[in-house]
């Protein structure tokens, strides 16, 4: 949301926010989720300050409803459009917890009457394991085929975002620990992503053989090299190549690099990996983003037995 001011002005609100976070810790809320819940409450308290209410004793039950109404009509500074119901529901969750906090700690007896809004998030497109196998089979036995398999290892096997894959350099492949060092993740966050042996072998073969052939006499640290002139592949080139593989594999779904990311997350969940681990693997800021993959929490196993993720981690 557009911040009304850089930080809270009320000393009481500053202490209240800190106490709210400590209370969540006592209730064993995930350390990964507490910062988000606190940020949502800060937005509400800033709204209160803007409406002239700088003390908790001024709080009324309708303030929460008025704040949610404000969010529904506000335009996001970054997204340049109205907030989604999903985003607003996160604030409703925080306000419900805040109401419980002030009542249980004796700070205020005000309760909020808030109902979650209907969420509109669409289920992401993802590829079945059979379709992923078809992508691998669509790669050739030449230099570009070796590069294609390394790309699939990065975008599917490691679940990287398009920009993360485009920014990879050779030095980011840690051969000792078999991890990818993502230096330019979303929100400028770094993370290390484990690489399964089959994916690691594909990346190593590309670096040690195909990449050297594609480089010619060009000098670049970029991991992925274009076929012509040995230049680094940008986001557009990587996306186009994956789309070409999708078409060659005969896959009818509208799929790109992010579809591969959705697919590995879905397959990991199908194979029993916990959401917390998937969250860390994908580099999500909080579990809200990872929860969308629970649409397959009770998957139907494919014919022939349990789904075996042959190219995942």
Helix (H) or strand (E) holding 194: strand 191-194
Choose, from 90, 149, 211, 261, the residue flagged as catalytic.
Answer: 261
Choose, from 183, 191, 204, 258, the residue flagged as catalytic.
Answer: 258
Q: Is 248 a catalytic residue?
A: no
Q: Which residues are registered as beta bridge partners of 75? A: 82
Give CA angle at 276 (275, 277), nearest 5°. Answer: 90
Q: Is 57 a catalytic residue?
A: no
Q: Is 29 a catalytic residue?
A: no
Choose, from 87, 186, 204, 295, the residue flagged as catalytic.
Answer: 186
Task: Please report the sign of the dihedral spanned by the C-alpha atoms of residue 127, residue 133, residue 134, residue 137.
Answer: positive
Choose, from 83, 147, 293, 311, the residue flagged as catalytic.
Answer: 293
Alpha helix ranges (H) inside the chain: 11-26, 34-50, 61-73, 85-104, 129-137, 143-152, 162-166, 197-205, 211-215, 235-248, 257-270, 275-282, 287-290
Q: Is 161 a catalytic residue?
A: yes
Q: Is 91 a catalytic residue?
A: no
Q: Is 186 a catalytic residue?
A: yes
Per-residue CA distances from 213 to 147, 150, 198, 225 (Å): 11, 15, 22, 10
Tell me the C-alpha distance between 204 and 148, whole Å. Answer: 13
Among 74, 34, 27, 33, smallest CA distance to 50 is for 74
Q: Which residues are registered as beta bridge partners of 169? A: 222
Choose, from 42, 147, 161, 262, the residue flagged as catalytic.
Answer: 161
Tell me the C-alpha distance between 211 and 205, whole Å. Answer: 9
- Active site members: 161, 186, 258, 261, 284, 293
């Amino acid at each position: 949301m557009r911040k009304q001011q850089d930080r809270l002005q009320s000393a009481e609100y500053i202490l209240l926010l800190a106490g709210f976070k400590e209370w969540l810790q006592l209730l064993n809320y995930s350390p990964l989720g507490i910062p988000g819940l606190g940020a949502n409450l800060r937005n509400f308290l800033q709204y209160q300050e803007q409406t002239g209410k700088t003390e908790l004793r001024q709080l009324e039950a309708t303030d929460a409803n008025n704040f949610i109404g404000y969010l529904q009509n506000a335009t996001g500074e970054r997204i340049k459009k109205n907030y989604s119901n999903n985003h607003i529901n996160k604030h409703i969750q925080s306000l419900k917890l805040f109401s419980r906090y002030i009542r249980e700690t004796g700070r205020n007896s005000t309760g909020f009457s808030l109902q979650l809004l209907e969420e509109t998030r669409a289920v992401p497109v993802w590829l079945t394991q059979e379709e992923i196998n078809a992508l691998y089979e669509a790669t050739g036995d030449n230099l570009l085929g070796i590069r294609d398999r390394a790309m699939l290892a990065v975008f599917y096997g490691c679940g990287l975002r398009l920009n993360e894959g485009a920014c990879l350099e050779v030095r980011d492949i840690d051969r000792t620990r078999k991890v990818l060092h993502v230096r330019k993740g979303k929100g400028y966050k770094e993370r290390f992503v484990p690489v399964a042996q089959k994916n690691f072998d594909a990346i190593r073969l590309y670096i040690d053989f195909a990449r050297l052939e594609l480089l010619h006499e060009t000098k670049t640290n970029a991991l992925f090299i274009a076929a012509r002139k040995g230049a680094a592949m940008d986001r557009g080139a990587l996306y186009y190549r994956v789309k070409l593989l999708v078409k060659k594999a005969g896959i009818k779904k509208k799929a790109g690099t992010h579809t591969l990311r959705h697919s590995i997350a879905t397959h990991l969940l199908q194979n029993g990996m916990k959401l917390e681990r998937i969250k860390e693997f994908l580099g999500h800021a909080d579990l809200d983003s990872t929860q969308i993959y629970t649409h397959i929490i009770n998957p139907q196993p494919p014919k022939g037995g349990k789904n075996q993720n042959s190219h995942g981690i």
